[in-house]
Amino acid sequence: MSSIASKIKSKRKAAKKIVKKRNKSFWQEFVCRFDLHLIHKTREKKICRHPLRILPLVPLSVILKKKHKSKKHSPSISLNMIVKNESPVIERCLASVKPYIDYWVIVDTGSTDGTQEIIRRYLTDVPGELHERPWVDFAHNRNEALELAKSKADYLLFIDADQVLEFSHSPVLPPLTKDCYFVTVHSDFRYAAQYILFVRTSLSMSWQGVLHEGLVSNADSYGVFTDIKISAFSDGNRSRDPRKFYKDADILEKVLQKEPDNARYVIFLALTYDAALEHNLALKWFEKRSQMGGREEEVFYSLLKIAHLQRHLQYPSEVFIASYEKAYQNRPTRAEPLYWLADYYITQKDFEKAYALAQKALTIPLPFTDQIYLEYAVYEYEILLQIVKCAYQTKRYQESYQALLRLRSISQLPALSRSQVEDILPHVRDMSLSLGVTAVSSPGS
């Protein structure tokens, strides 16, 4: 008899005394489980987590049933992308989403830089499909990719090659139960917006728009992941083209000849000219968009951009001040117009007006109901930086000091601003302890 078998036989006798009066089926299950435990233990494969004394208390069938019931069903996820000549950035993107996908469907629209080989190599251990299709336009090609992927998983994950999926805290994906989920996309620019990250494949949906396309669906339930974001680096193939904005403007101008009332195309044409530094053309199209109605956030942002451009183009101050006020009146839940008005008065050294505007802006919380063109930095720390300067200059030293303390506790505060805060904090603290004493220097000056 082998040493393993002899050990099992001797241990069975001891275990039988523990079990005592039990029915036959229970004993058979116990012996099966007990034998496996001993074999694994003897071979020094310590896979059984339970000590011996617990084994006979619950039948194996009950344990297995409990395990089956406690296992939560995780919906399957398929990555869905279109790419072209993204070899410098595609692996960075795929690395950020690979742990969360069960399948992938990527459509290449004509890469000549080896993007296809990078995708195949990096995703070799994940089931998926790489298709190659000729380029038509964004909506057409995204819809091709969409149809190829809809039957592959419960949810689709959308991301661009120059983007990265990031988690604020634990890199664990929350349960997916709603039709679609939004996350905030942060770019190299000041603005952030919410875009669809996940969508249920059972929905009726399609991409619409030859440029800056949007997903239209019959979704009934929506979720927002606040601990997940997408960082857009704007270093993909399109962004590397120095003529990108002029090419986009040409496309949008042509499509607007066919669809002159398409408000989405109008605002994107305005944004495109603004990015191309064609400020007069941008102003013209933002003015047109502000008069078209429709999506309230687009109207508000158009009014705000009108004020910015008028100020940049050196319109009379009363003109752009009135434009900032109009933008605020249009959407008083947004602090940006007040912040930028305060910024103007700071440049004019009218710190009393700037202080009043900054204080008013400080009472407006980040509007989570808004999805596009949000200046997160304004709400997170930039208004407080204005308070520090304006309160100090108007000899409200205690308020300036309290604002500095708040800034110290903000994790999103940029390194340069944090360094400035630490540099001036001792001086402002001393001034706050000597109210009424004239300051000899000014923070941020």
Q: Which of 106, 148, 147, 146 is nearest to 126 (CA)?
A: 106
Tell me the pLDDT tens digit for each residue of 237-260: 787 888 889 999 999 999 999 999
| In a domain? residue 340 | no
Q: What pLDDT sits at residue 169?
A: 85
pLDDT surpassing 90 at residue 188: no
In a shared domain, residues 85 and 221: yes
Q: What pLDDT sits at residue 189?
A: 64
Tell me the pLDDT tens digit for each residue of 118-166: 999 999 999 999 999 999 999 999 999 999 999 999 999 999 999 999 9
Q: What pLDDT sits at residue 27?
A: 40
Residues 349, 97: Cα–Cα separation, whole Å: 49
| In a domain? residue 58 | yes
257-266 contacts at long range (C-beta below 8 A, 24 or more positions apart): 261/292, 263/289, 263/292, 263/293, 263/294, 263/295, 263/298, 264/209, 264/212, 264/214, 264/298, 265/209, 265/211, 266/292
Residue 146 has which token pair? 């969409």
Tell me the pLDDT tens digit for each residue of 310-341: 999 999 999 999 999 999 999 999 999 999 99
Tell me the pLDDT tens digit for each residue of 49-106: 333 333 333 333 333 333 322 234 589 999 999 999 999 999 999 999 999 999 999 9
Q: Of 331, 361, 384, which residue sits at a domain end?
A: 331
CA distances from 47 to 52, 65, 435 (A): 13, 19, 70
In a shared domain, residues 212 and 291: no
In a shared domain, residues 173 and 65: no
CB contact burial 64-80 (16+ within 10 A = b; e otherwise): eeeeeeeeeeeeebbbb
Query: What is the rounded average pLDDT of the residues 175-186?
Result: 94
Q: What pLDDT sits at residue 13?
A: 56
Residues 37, 57: Cα–Cα separation, whole Å: 15
Please give the share of the chain, as a percent, with pLDDT higher than 90.
Answer: 70
| In a domain? residue 339 | no
Count the alpha carbons within 13 Å of 181 in the hemisphere toward its beta carbon: 23
Q: What is the mean pLDDT of the chain?
A: 85
pLDDT surpassing 90 at residue 351: yes
In a shared domain, residues 354 and 327: no
C-alpha dihedral sign at 248, 250, 255, 260: positive
Number of domains in the chain: 4
Tell me the pLDDT tens digit for each residue of 421-442: 999 999 999 998 887 544 434 4
Range with lowest mean pLDDT among 117-121, 159-163, 208-212, 261-265: 208-212
More confident residue, 210 or 37: 210
pLDDT surpassing 70 at residue 405: yes
Residue range of the domain that includes 292:
242-331
pLDDT surpassing 90 at residue 342: yes
Confidence of residue 186 (pLDDT cuts 50, 70, 90): confident
In a shared domain, residues 374 and 314: no
In a shared domain, residues 112 and 156: yes
In a shared domain, residues 64 and 207: no
Classify residue 418 by burial, with Cβ atoms within 10 Å: 0-12, 13-18, 19+.
middle
Q: Of 200, 232, 264, which residue sits at a domain end?
A: 232
| In a domain? residue 109 | yes
Q: What pLDDT sits at residue 14?
A: 53
Residues 383, 396: Cα–Cα separation, whole Å: 16
In a shared domain, residues 91 and 215: yes
Tell me the pLDDT tens digit for each residue of 273-324: 999 999 999 999 999 999 999 999 999 999 999 999 999 999 999 999 999 9
